[in-house]
Amino acid sequence: MEKVSAKLTDEEYEKSMSTTLSTRMAAVKMSPTTALFGKVEELRRKGEDIVSLNVGEPDFPTPDNIKEAGIRAINENFTKYTTGNGIAPLREAIIEKMKKDNGVTYEMNEVAVTVGAKQALFGALCAVAGEGDEVIIPIPCYVSYPDMVALAGAKPVLVKRKDDFSLDLEAIESAINEHTKAVIICTPDNPTGKVYGEDELKGLSDLAISRDIFVISDEIYEKIIYGENRHKSISAFEGMKDRTIVVNGFSKTYSMTGWRLGYVCGRADVIGAAVKVQSQTTTTPPSISQYAAVEALCGPQDSVELMRSEFEKRRDFVQEKLRGIPGVICHEIQGAFYAFFDIRAFLGKEYEGYGIIDDDTRLCEYLLEKYGVAMMPGSAYFAPGFVRISFASSMEVLKKALSRIESGLKAHKC
């Protein structure tokens, strides 16, 4: 096919291509996790031995009973579009689960199945926030929240959490104004591993009620929780069911990241709007995955506990090792599978071949290039001076990684 540009001078061609991206895109960045993934792949292609602690997905296979349900769905030809909000048996199973785990009863039109928890979050945000609206995000936070808010057309308002990563309710209250539509929380939390206690959740629910805003509660790590810590959904407090948009999914609890399935529960009009967004973008969640997910929720749950207890052993190991490195501060990891530790004591120091390293991003680059360990800089989560590692890797890999981190951190000159 002849190129139209063939008849144009360079200058005319440049002009003809001056159409620009939308202004909304200027407020959205590529996920830093994806960017680091590319760099790790490049180093591996060059033959480098890289230990990768940057990826946020369980290393276990999807449990067999769930895989078999997926295979059955294919063989029985459940391979077509489904209803936009998900198949009825799955929404019924979600309702049962929410009743049992959270103590909250939903109707069928208050639940929608989505393409991963990410689509649930995006649909929920589009449903409640747009041009001129603000959404409060306590930081450190999951990398995607601010960009999703911006994609929805609203303004993300970042509010620092306390030093122990609990919610700073006073700071949240002062950030609320007439434009505020919602606060997003995540418990158990990515990246900090914090599980919010009942008191702070009650405090936030009082605030949401008195200031008339929504809470978007990302509970995707609810089953990956350690020691005495217990998950409490903010939706269970009095007056909060209709004010909370609960986001959850199958990726973490059932090691189903690639099946792309999540769900969202809340007020019927909010869920209806989130489904509209889904219907105009991805049409429906994947049919095969939905049949597999019915088995995930209704079948035996022993694999969930097996994975959780394995994560707990790794948590104990990683936490102890990090705390054993003088200068590293690592708070108790209460849930999820990340350690988020303070490395400020290692900044402003000289490292061979790197000069003085002043920030967490450069420190992570140094540890990747020189010690072959890939970690996420805290800046990606709006917490400079911190580093996040995922312990969704075997004990063998973690032992190697921790010893590399320790050597790399200790190798400064002064």
Closest CB 113 distance from ligand PLP, rounded Å: 11
Two tokens, residue 183:
């606060």
Closest CB 180 distance from ligand PLP, rounded Å: 21
Closest CB 192 distance from ligand PLP, rounded Å: 11
Closest CB 203 distance from ligand PLP, rounded Å: 21
Closest CB 348 distance from ligand PLP, rounded Å: 31
3-class state of residue 185 by DSSP:
strand
User: Would you state the torsion angle of the CA atoms of residues 188, 189, 194, 196, taken in this order, to the nearest 10 degrees?
Assistant: -60
Residue nearest to ligand PLP (CB): 116
Residues forming contacts to ligand PLP in the complex (CB under 6 A) are 56, 116-118, 142, 186, 190, 218, 220, 249, 251, 257, 262
User: Would you state the torsion angle of the CA atoms of residues 382, 205, 333, 218, taken in this order, to the nearest 10 degrees?
Assistant: -70
Which CB sits closer to ligand PLP, 33 or 403? 33
Give the helix/strand (H/E) hosting 122.
helix 116-128
Which CB sits closer to ligand PLP, 159 or 325? 159
Write the CA distances from 118 to 1, 59, 181, 194, 229, integer angstroms: 40, 20, 19, 20, 25
Closest CB 340 distance from ligand PLP, rounded Å: 12
Which CB sits closer to ligand PLP, 254 or 351? 254
CA 327 – CA 359 distance, rounded (Å):
15
Write the CA distances from 314 to 19, 248, 396, integer angstroms: 51, 24, 10
Tell which residue, 147, 113, 155, 106, has the closest CA to residue 130.
Answer: 155
Give the helix/strand (H/E) hosting 100.
helix 88-102
Which CB sits closer to ligand PLP, 55 or 347? 55
Which CB sits closer to ligand PLP, 183 or 328? 183
Q: Phi/psi at 182 (nearest 5 deg)?
A: -160, 160
Closest CB 282 distance from ligand PLP, rounded Å: 12
Instruction: Name the burial class of residue 258, with classes exposed (0-12), middle (13-18) and buried (19+) by CB atoms within 10 angstroms of its CB.
Output: exposed
Which CB sits closer to ligand PLP, 182 or 186? 186
Which CB sits closer to ligand PLP, 287 or 346? 287
Closest CB 118 distance from ligand PLP, rounded Å: 4
The structure tokens 């450190």 sit at: 140
Phi and psi based region of residue 260 (left: phi greater than 0; alpha: psi -120 to 50; beta: remaining): left
Which CB sits closer to ligand PLP, 141 or 368? 141
CA 324 – CA 184 distance, rounded (Å):
34
